[in-house]
Structures are given as structure tokens and as C-alpha cells.
């Protein structure tokens, strides 16, 4: 990596009309994170001295999104082409001396390694003024072609498909639009751009010919896939998920049906984790070594301890924390609750705003009644406690260590340790009543 400083300019001024959305195009999520923030996170690993996002329509949304990462905003009020967009970063880059990486907010999957390779090539011995990122799609279609000098990576020119002759169209190396430019040359080149074309726009690609010294490096086609429609958004999501699944398995997790598992951008898996089919991870999930996530479970904002089990058909919501060997079974929902070592919540249960002690057992149909319509309250269930099926624990309430709550109880007061709590109506039996009732109703029905 060069010792020269780096700046990043991200172009995000496009209106994104094909998305048909009130949300700015570059803020549509990939793996639970806005695509622009995917790109900025990768760029941040280069430790850039300055990061500039060029935006236009919907700038308020973009400004809000990038504020936490400290990016500067430049505004392109008129859409006059990619070259014109980069010109808007002039003030934000005033006094900068180094290399400028130019990226696109709707091309979110560019790897940090590729960015570094672009900068490294810019600072190689022959020091080109411009480095362009190329790729070889399965169908080159209408992409612009990169014409490279034989036997080298020297880029002679970029030819738009509509202007290319048959020989040029046969070239499979295509232009991604991404480039790195030596900062001392950037604005001098941009100032020489002309807009004497059918669209009346200033094209960034023209700096290649103007520079007289350009090179090209290549990236995988998935890495430079752009998003201009909902269909393309789905395609980029699919590409990201494929790569993440492969990485998870390479790192020691077992995915029974990889194509059915969906990760978030920050999912963390330990070794020997098993993930069964049709599992969805929302943001903020950590799964420790040896845990099993059974089929059709959904996890978000949750921590799963070593050797714990979740599901099938379980939901862990934000704040759910499972200790080692905890068991969360089918149709169980956990929210903002800590489940202790070896504790079991096996069936048809809601546990919210609660603490469950080690080794406790929560019966089927149990509910922590944590909300009164205005405030949330906590339930504490002690070590080794047993809560019978179909019980309602009305918070705030504490079930002591080793206590037993009888099935069907509605508990509204604390239960002391090692006690039995029963809170249900007295059972009565009236002999023969059911037969007399059936006989009477049958006779009545016949008389109609």
C-alpha cells in the first residue's frame, strides 16, 4: 500500500427513479445495512484522510445516514454527468494531496482488497494518472469496453458499446465506472472535460484519454454489480448472501441447506455451529461455538451461548441472551430477556423483559405479562425454578430459586424460594350434568 494519503469520493446523486421508492436509492438495504454504508465500511479500512459523498435529490436522507461515519457531503444540484458529479467534491478536497478513489453508492459490494489494489496500481513504478476497474460479465451486452494495449495492463481508451466497431465489441473486458486518480491531476483533468455529446453531459470516463497514462485492474463481476431497480437489488442481495454462506462454511459452520439461510451484514458465528434450513438472521446476532439453530427460526439482536439450541420455529428478538446449553424450543418468542445456563423454554411461550435462572424450566404456554399499555416491567425466575404450563406471570414479579408454579396459574405476587404457588380457580364437579344437558338440547332440537 502506498504511503500517499487517500481520499474517497462516492457518487450518490442519482434519483433512482426505477426503484419507485420514497427511500433514496443508495439507502436500500443489503443484508440489513444500507448499500451506501456497505461501501463506506469497506472504504474505511483504507483509513482515508477524507471521505466525500456527492448527493443531490434526497440529500437529507443521505446526510442523516452518513453523519455517524463522518463523511462530508457535496451537492450536485443538476445532473450533468459523472464527471460533473466529481467536480462537486472540489471544495471538500481543497488542499488534499494524495490519491482519490472514485466509487458509486449503488455499487455496494466492492471489496476493500480491490480498493487497495487500485491504489497500489496507481502508485506502481510507471505511475499511471488513472486506474480503471474492469470486469468480465457473462454477457458483456451494452457495457463500455476497455481497450488495453497488447501484453500489458495499459488502458488505451474506453469505447461505449454504441460507438464500438465489431472488433471492439468482441472485447470481454468491460468498464465498471470505478477508478482511482492521482489527486494532483484530478481536477486539472476534470476541468478539461467537454459536454459536446448527445446528452450534454460531462463524462468521467473521458479523463482516461485526457490523462494519456491509464491502467486497468480486474474485479469479479458480482463485486461491481450495480443497483438501479428492485430486481437488481435482489440480485446483489443474492450475490452477497452466496459469498457469506460460503465464508460461514469455510470458517467452520455447518449449513444444512445453505441457499435457505439468510445472514445480516454483522452476523457472527462460532465454530461447529449448525444452522438448519430456512433460518433468517437479522442484524446484531452472535452465535457461540457448538450452538444449533433449528429450522424456520428468526434471530435479531440476540446472543446465543455455546451449545445452546434454538427452534425450530423460534423467534429471538433484540436483547435476547441465551447462556450455555440453554434451550429455546418451537413457537417460542424471547425479547429483552436473559436465559440462564441450561434453562429450558421449550414450547409455545413468550418471555419478554425477563431473567431466567440456570436450570429453570418454563412450561408450554407460559407468558410473562410485561406491558400494561404504558410501561414495561421485568419478571425474574430463579435458579432451578419450575413454571407449569399455561401460566401467566404478571410483572413485576419474582419467582424464587427452586420454586414451583402450578400449571394454569396467574401469578401476581412474588413467590418465595422452594415454594409451591397455585393461583387458579377451584375445580368443581356436578355428577350427571353433562348427560342431562345433552338430553335436553337434543330434545329441544328435535322439537324445532
> How does the average pLDDT of the chain come out, rounded?
95
Q: Which pLDDT belongs to residue 2?
A: 59
Q: Which residues contact 79 (CB under 8 A, 6 or more apart)?
A: 13, 14, 15, 56
114, 232 Cβ separation under 8 angstroms:
no
Distance CA 108, CA 101 (A): 14
Total Cβ atoms within 10 A of residue 67: 10
Cβ-based burial of 428 (10 A; exposed 0-12, middle 13-18, buried ≥19): exposed
Distance CA 115, CA 103 (A): 9
Report residue 202 as a C-alpha cell: 460531462
Segment holding 7, helix H or strand E: strand 5-12
Distance CA 384, CA 297 (A): 26
Q: Across residues 419-435, what is the average pLDDT?
A: 93
DSSP assigned state of 196: -
Asked whether the CA dihedral 25, 28, 31, 35 is positive or negative, the reply is positive
The torsion region of residue 32 among left (phi > 0), alpha (psi -120 to 50) and beta comes to: left
- Stated length of the chain: 448
Instruction: Count CA atoms closer than 13 A to 221's CA, side-chain side.
Output: 10
State pLDDT tens for residues 359-415.
999 999 999 999 999 999 999 999 999 999 999 999 999 999 999 999 999 999 999
Distance CA 79, CA 67 (A): 24
β-bridge mates for residue 53, sequence order: 10, 73
Which of these, 42, 421, 427, 18, lies nearest to 240 by C-alpha position? 42
Distance from CA of residue 155 to its chain's centroid?
36
Report residue 97 as a C-alpha cell: 494531496
β-bridge mates for residue 421, sequence order: 405
The answer to whether residue 1 scores a pLDDT higher than 60 is no
Active site residues: 347
Q: Across residues 246-275, what is the average pLDDT?
A: 98
The domains located in the chain, with CATH, are 5-224 (3.90.550.10), 254-421 (2.160.10.10)
Q: Across residues 3-20, what is the average pLDDT?
A: 91
Segment holding 75, helix H or strand E: strand 72-75
Report residue 329 as a C-alpha cell: 424450543
Q: Across residues 137-144, what is the average pLDDT?
A: 91
The answer to whether residue 162 scores a pLDDT higher than 90 is no
CA terminus-to-terminus distance, the chain = 94
Q: Across residues 228-236, what is the average pLDDT?
A: 96
Distance CA 316, CA 319 (A): 8
β-bridge mates for residue 135, sequence order: 174, 219
358, 383 Cβ separation under 8 angstroms:
yes
Distance CA 387, CA 408 (A): 10
β-bridge mates for residue 144, sequence order: none
Distance CA 396, CA 369 (A): 9
Distance CA 262, CA 279 (A): 6
Q: Which pLDDT belongs to residue 427?
A: 87
Q: Across residues 82-110, what is the average pLDDT?
A: 95
Q: Is the pTM of this model over 0.85?
A: yes
Distance CA 205, CA 5 (A): 23
Amino acid at each position: 500500500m502506498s504511503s500517499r494519503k487517500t481520499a474517497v469520493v462516492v457518487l450518490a446523486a442519482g434519483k433512482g427513479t426505477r426503484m419507485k421508492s420514497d427511500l433514496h436509492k443508495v439507502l436500500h438495504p443489503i443484508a440489513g445495512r444500507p448499500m451506501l454504508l456497505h461501501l463506506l465500511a469497506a472504504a474505511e479500512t483504507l483509513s482515508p484522510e477524507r471521505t466525500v459523498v456527492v448527493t443531490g435529490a434526497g440529500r437529507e436522507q443521505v446526510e442523516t445516514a452518513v453523519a455517524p461515519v463522518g463523511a462530508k457531503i457535496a451537492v450536485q444540484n443538476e445532473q450533468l454527468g459523472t464527471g460533473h458529479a466529481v467536480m462537486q467534491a472540489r471544495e471538500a478536497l481543497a488542499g488534499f494531496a494524495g490519491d482519490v478513489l472514485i466509487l458509486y453508492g449503488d455499487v455496494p459490494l466492492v471489496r476493500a482488497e480491490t480498493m487497495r489494489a487500485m491504489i497500489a496500481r496507481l502508485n506502481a513504478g510507471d505511475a499511471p494518472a488513472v486506474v480503471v476497474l474492469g470486469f468480465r460479465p457473462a454477457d458483456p451486452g451494452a457495457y463500455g469496453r476497455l481497450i488495453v494495449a497488447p501484453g500489458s495492463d495499459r488502458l488505451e481508451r474506453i469505447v461505449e458499446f454504441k460507438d464500438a466497431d465489431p472488433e471492439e465489441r468482441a472485447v470481454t473486458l468491460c468498464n465498471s465506472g470505478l477508478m482511482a486518480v492521482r489527486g494532483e491531476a484530478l481536477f486539472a483533468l476534470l476541468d478539461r472535460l467537454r459536454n459536446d455529446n448527445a446528452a450534454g453531459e460531462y463524462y468521467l470516463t473521458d479523463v482516461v484519454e485526457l490523462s494519456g497514462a491509464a491502467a486497468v485492474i480486474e474485479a469479479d463481476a458480482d463485486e461491481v454489480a450495480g443497483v438501479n431497480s428492485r430486481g437488481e437489488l435482489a440480485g446483489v442481495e443474492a450475490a452477497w448472501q452466496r459469498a457469506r454462506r460460503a465464508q460461514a462454511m469455510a470458517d467452520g459452520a455447518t449449513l444444512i441447506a445453505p441457499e435457505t439461510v439468510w445472514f445480516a451484514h454483522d452476523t457472527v458465528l462460532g465454530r461447529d455451529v449448525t444452522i438448519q434450513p430456512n433460518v433468517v438472521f437479522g442484524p446484531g446476532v452472535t452465535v457461540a461455538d457448538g450452538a444449533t439453530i433449528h429450522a424456520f427460526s428468526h434471530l435479531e439482536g440476540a446472543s446465543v451461548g455455546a451449545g445452546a439450541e434454538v427452534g425450530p420455529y423460534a423467534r429471538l428478538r433484540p436483547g435476547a441472551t441465551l447462556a450455555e446449553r440453554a434451550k429455546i424450543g418451537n413457537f417460542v418468542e424471547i425479547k429483552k430477556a436473559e436465559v440462564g445456563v441450561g434453562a429450558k423454554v421449550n414450547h409455545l411461550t413468550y418471555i419478554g423483559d425477563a431473567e431466567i435462572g440456570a436450570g429453570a424450566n418454563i412450561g408450554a404456554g407460559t407468558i410473562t405479562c410485561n406491558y400494561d399499555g404504558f410501561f414495561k416491567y421485568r419478571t425474574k425466575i430463579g435458579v432451578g425454578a419450575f413454571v407449569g404450563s399455561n401460566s401467566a406471570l404478571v410483572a413485576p414479579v419474582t419467582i424464587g430459586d427452586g420454586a414451583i408454579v402450578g400449571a394454569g396459574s396467574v401469578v401476581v405476587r412474588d413467590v418465595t424460594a422452594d415454594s409451591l404457588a397455585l393461583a387458579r380457580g377451584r375445580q368443581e364437579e356436578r355428577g350427571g350434568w353433562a348427560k342431562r344437558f345433552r338430553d335436553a338440547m337434543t330434545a329441544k332440537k328435535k322439537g324445532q
